[in-house]
Amino acid sequence: MASANEIFVVGIGASAGGIEALEGLFRSTPAGGGLAYVVVTHLAPGVASALPEIVATFTTMPVARAEDGAAIERDRVYVAGPDATLTVEGGRLRARPVPPEGRHHERNPIDAFLGSLADDAGDRAIAVILSGAGSDGTLGLKAVKERGGLTIAQGTDGSAPRHHGMPSSAIATGLVDLVLSVEDVGKKLVEYVGSFGALSGLVANGAEERADAARRRICALLRDQVGHDFAGYKERTFMRRVQRRMQVLQISDIDAYVELLGREHAEAVLLFRDLLIGVTDFFRDRAAFETLERVVIPRLFDDGQPGDRVRVWVPGCSTGEEAYSIAILLRERMEATGATRQVQVFATDIDDLALETARSGRYPEALLRGIDPDRLRRFFTYEHGTYTLSRQVRDMCIFSSHSVVRDPPFSRIDLVSCRNLLIYLDGEVQSRVLPAFHYALKPGGFLFLGSAETLSHRTELFTPVDKKHRVFQRRDHVDTPLTVAAFLSSGVRPAGGVGGGGTGLVGSGRGATPAALTLRRAVEARMLERHTPAHVVVNREGDVVYYSSRTGKYLEAAPGQPSRQVLAMARRGLRLDLRVALQQAAETRRPVHRERVEVDVESEGRVQVVGLTVEPLPDHEADPLFLVVFEDDGPTLARGETSTARLPSEEDAALERSERELRDTRERLQATIEEYETALEELKAANEELISVNEELQSSNEELETSKEEIQAVNEELSTVNHELGFKVDLLNESNSDLRNLFESTRIAIVFLDRHAVIRSFTPAVSELFSLIPGDRGRPLTDIASHLDVEERLHQDVRSVLAGQGPVERRVIRRDGRAHHLMRVLPYLDSDRAIDGAVLTFVDITNVVASERQQQTLVHELNHRVRNMLAVVTAIATQTLAWTPAPGAFAPAFLGRIEALARAYGLVSRESWGDVPLEEVLKEEFEPHALGDESRLAASGPKVMLRPRAALALGLVLHELATNAVKYGALSVSAGRIEVAWGVEDGKGEGADAGRRLVLRWREVGGPPVGKPKTRGFGSELIERQMCYELGGEVEIDFSRRGLAATLAVPAGEGLFDLAPGG
């Protein structure tokens, strides 16, 4: 009990019909209750189980397959796998693989798990048995209960279990605390755990005195209600059981429980049973069994005849532990002494399911704690977490359904072992059962009772052999007090049994007289029976209320209505005397006697002389009764003989005749006896045969039982597998439907081919590429016309993929050129990763192709521009170098031009090669020369947008003008300014655009006087070239004394500029 200490572990056993039950349970179990759940089912080994996945759909708690060594954690669900036997050790799961050869053997995985859980978790173990056939789980539940855990079985209210076997078997043990519908289990568990915490302090802290007082009161109540004194019980054990009942009832206050106990007898009985739990284990009450072994067992073998069987009867055997314990003791004795006598242990119970469990002889480890390790090794084989009894012991035991109360008892039994059955029976039934045991036992046979059981008031039947351990021996001189039905009028004592020995009336359910017969009474009864004259008892009216035997000689049935009137029944000759005697007796209340009354006995006229006595019985003043006694006086005589003296000769003749008759009769008797003996022998033989047939039947029956269990197990596995299959089919349907939707919605054309390139299926988008209709499934792809440009290549690709040469990817174009596709041919792999066909996918990449083309064009154009620009730069360098006289002036001039070009490019590229405002070009080119003073430029004009070409050319021109102004013109002095004005002017030409042009006027003001330079510089050349050649325009430069003035004109015809709207 290490780490599982803190956690309540719920072991859930389920089998056939279990999935439904699990669903009901988990759906209604609140998460976060702090419990751990372990589900154990019967699964076919070697088959992958989807149970964890299935269970996971029922609950929000994490669900995992139970792995070996996993620590059990709160709020988790563990599901046992099919190939291992699951147990718990120190709060960890242990999954021991089942060897393949053991897989088809029967296993009791639920018993094995619950048994180990009981050991490991103690009172924190909870066993829940759900739907399932068979009886697996019953013993495990027993172990849990015994260690103080809670036990629950699925009940029939709510959703009833589909198979009742397992829960019913558990319930039949009487050890189930709660029978609930699965929907209530979860809630109850959480409540239970809650109350557990509240109660655990009950005994421990502070409340000790109160608890002790309560214990004493409970003991007193139990003594009153069930007659058993638990005052000597261990306090802790006692209080733990009390707590357990309180938890089940969810009463948290001990005084409230004591009050309930006083009020409800049923609760007292339940507590009493709880207190006695566990004594059905193997050799559980070790000292008692040792006594049995030492005192009784040897005598069973020693006392009987060598040929006799030793017969033991274990009534109320439940799941068989007691019967097997005794069988083991007997087997040990036989082996120790070499005794060869046959031994039979009849184990009976009314619970067929318990018998089934008992017959299989498989027990979880937890129930075998009391057993000596030597015995365990010798008589048990360990298999899959459970111990199975050896065949030799099982063969000794015959389990059958039998009620000790209802059915006739067994007979000729050497030992009756009936431990802890009587405590479940009330006093009246007990006093019927004990005589049945007495009857069943052979003379000197033994009775073995449970430690809490007594003979109550039937002590006359048995002598104690060991008082402490409840071993008794049959008292032989007591005739079993058989009782007849009390049909006599009140006050008339039954005069004893009818025949000798018991005749099946024992325990027959009729009323029993409480009075015990003494030996004297038995003798009296015998005497009355055998050696007293015939008599009847009549009332005052003469009605017979009692007949002795052999009254027929004196009385006969009267004709007419049946009557009990003795005078009507009296034979001829008797009636008169009887009437007179009865009258006298009634009057005088004294005995009246009449001698020599002749009574006609037979029709041939024979007469019996009788003495008649009528005597009033004492103690019946109000309704007096009279005893009428008939006493024969000599043999019957012929009529007339009575009055005449008999002659000697006649007597001799009669004697001779009698002797002859006697001889004849003896001979006949001898013959009859011989016949009888032969018949008896035959009967004996027949009986032997019957017994052996019976045994064979018994063993066949057991084999059948075993097969039935096997079939049941297989059936359960099948049912579980079936459920799983159903679940998988659902999943499959879902996936199929997903796939179908995907197929129908996807715009990707997909064709599935089998390994012969025959079409398996395709998506609707394929119709864009192939002339396919749904009916074409199953036709070879080569039969289908395609709209693609690569038909032959395609078939080749398919063949190569089918041949395993890897996937192919290719761009294909529709013949009409409308669409481009990326075709992929991939191998279709089956579950073994082998090629089982091909998948053709066509992704529409028309847009991609178009974009690629566009991109290529752009790259092309960019290359062109870059190269052109490099050529321009080279040209500027070449020209500047050629025109620059001083080497030092080259760099500033060249760089200035490159920068001017760069600025113009910057503007143009900022607009993504769109139009640029003239004003911006001007400002951009002017700015580096303005030395930070914007006011030196006065720009005015409408908003004119320049084409990139015009912007670049004008940019260079303006740069040259500005450079010149800085060097020689207005910008060379601080007062100088430049005025730039532009506008669109209409010329004199004809047509819409003819003569229309952009005119820009550059005027320098406030600069030094300028003159026309003597040589034309590169700047002028550049300006002219740009204006005239590049733009097809004009330029006019006036070197006036007031300052340089330039007029630049760009014609509209080339579309190099636009007047912006509103500009």
Query: Where along the sequence are the contacts to other proteins (CB under 8 A)?
Result: 860, 863-868, 870-876, 878-879, 881-883, 949, 953, 1021-1022, 1025-1026, 1029-1030
Cα dist from 1045 to 174, 980, 1011, 1037, whole Å = 124, 10, 12, 6
Q: Rounded distance, CA 134 to CA 13, Å? A: 12
Identify how many contiguous H helices and E strands the chain contains and give both numbers. 27, 38
Distance of CA 344 to the CA centre of its chain: 39
Q: Which of 538, 551, 527 is nearest to 628 (CA)?
A: 538
Q: Which of 316, 381, 380, 311 is nearest to 346 (CA)?
A: 311
Q: Give the residue with the Cβ less far from other proteins, 638 or 870.
A: 870
Q: Give the residue with the Cβ less far from other proteins, 663 or 867.
A: 867
Q: Are 908 and 949 in contact (CB under 8 A)?
A: no
Smallest distance, Å, CB 1027 to other proteins?
Answer: 9
**How many CB atoms neighbour CB 720 within 10 A?**
25
Q: Give the residue with the Cβ less far from other proteins, 522 or 872.
A: 872
Q: Which long-range contacts (CB under 8 A, 24 or more apart) does 265-270 make?
A: 265/225, 268/221, 268/222, 268/225, 268/226, 269/225, 269/226, 270/245
Smallest distance, Å, CB 1000 to other proteins?
Answer: 18
Smallest distance, Å, CB 856 to other proteins?
Answer: 10
Q: Which of 400, 399, 424 is nearest to 277 (CA)?
A: 424
Return the structure tokens found at 180: 């609930």
Smallest distance, Å, CB 907 to other proteins?
Answer: 18
Smallest distance, Å, CB 910 to other proteins?
Answer: 21
**How many CB atoms neighbour CB 793 within 10 A?**
14
Q: Which of the 8 DSSP states describes residue 101?
A: G
Q: Give the residue with the Cβ less far from other proteins, 386 or 880.
A: 880
Smallest distance, Å, CB 1054 to other proteins?
Answer: 9
Smallest distance, Å, CB 1046 to other proteins?
Answer: 18
Q: Rounded distance, CA 987 to CA 1049, Å? A: 11
Smallest distance, Å, CB 908 to other proteins?
Answer: 14
Smallest distance, Å, CB 950 to other proteins?
Answer: 11
Q: Give the residue with the Cβ less far from other proteins, 490 or 1015.
A: 1015
User: CA dihedral defined by 456, 458, 464, 467, rounded to 10 degrees?
Assistant: 0
Q: Which of the 8 DSSP states describes residue 293?
A: I
Smallest distance, Å, CB 1040 to other proteins?
Answer: 27
Return the structure tokens found at 762: 């395709």
Q: Give the residue with the Cβ less far from other proteins, 603 or 912.
A: 912
Smallest distance, Å, CB 1025 to other proteins?
Answer: 4
Contact partners, residue 445, CB within 8 Å, separation at least 6 = 413, 414, 415, 416, 473, 474
Cα dist from 462 to 201, 272, 430, 441, 878, whole Å = 47, 26, 14, 11, 142
Smallest distance, Å, CB 961 to other proteins?
Answer: 16
Q: Give the residue with the Cβ less far from other proteins, 51 or 1056.
A: 1056
Q: Please classify residue 1050 by burial: count the beta carbons closer than 10 Å to its beta carbon, then call 0-12 exposed, 13-18 middle and 19+ buried.
A: buried
Q: Rounded distance, CA 19 to CA 41, Å? A: 9
Cα dist from 223 to 243, 265, 428, 691, whole Å = 19, 12, 18, 47
Q: Give the residue with the Cβ less far from other proteins, 560 or 887.
A: 887
Q: Give the residue with the Cβ less far from other proteins, 252 or 909.
A: 909
Q: HSE-up of 178 (CA within 13 Å, CB side)?
A: 24
Q: Is 315 helix (H, G, I), strand (E, B) or coil?
A: strand
Q: What DSSP string runs through 776-828? A: GTTSBGGGS-BSBTTHHHHHHHHHHHHTT---EEEEEEBTTSS-EEEEEEEEE
Smallest distance, Å, CB 919 to other proteins?
Answer: 24
Q: Is 858 helix (H, G, I), strand (E, B) or coil?
A: helix
Q: Give the residue with the Cβ less far from other proteins, 482 or 950.
A: 950
Q: Give the residue with the Cβ less far from other proteins, 718 or 891.
A: 891
Cα dist from 686 to 308, 689, 691, whole Å = 18, 5, 9
Termini Cα distance of the chain:
96
Smallest distance, Å, CB 870 to other proteins?
Answer: 4
Write out the H or E segment, with its range, that includes residue 544: strand 544-547
Q: Give the residue with the Cβ less far from other proteins, 57 or 857.
A: 857
One-letter identity of residue 157 = D
Smallest distance, Å, CB 911 to other proteins?
Answer: 18
Q: Which of 222, 235, 219 is nearest to 264 (CA)?
A: 222
Largest CA distance in the chain: 214
Using the Cα atoms of residue 433, residue 435, residue 437 and residue 439 in order, give the sign of their dihedral: negative
Smallest distance, Å, CB 862 to other proteins?
Answer: 10
CA angle 93, 96, 102 (to 5 degrees): 145
Return the structure tokens found at 760: 């398996």
Q: Give the residue with the Cβ less far from other proteins, 791 or 1030.
A: 1030
Q: Give the residue with the Cβ less far from other proteins, 523 or 866.
A: 866
One-letter identity of residue 785 = A
Q: Give the residue with the Cβ less far from other proteins, 654 or 875.
A: 875
Q: Rounded distance, CA 575 to CA 313, Å? A: 56
Q: HSE-up of 225 (CA within 13 Å, CB side)?
A: 23
Q: Give the residue with the Cβ less far from other proteins, 677 or 852.
A: 852
Q: Which of 172, 164, 271, 170 is nearest to 215 (CA)?
A: 271
Q: Give the residue with the Cβ less far from other proteins, 736 or 868.
A: 868
Q: Give the residue with the Cβ less far from other proteins, 662 or 866.
A: 866
Smallest distance, Å, CB 848 to other proteins?
Answer: 21
Smallest distance, Å, CB 883 to other proteins?
Answer: 7
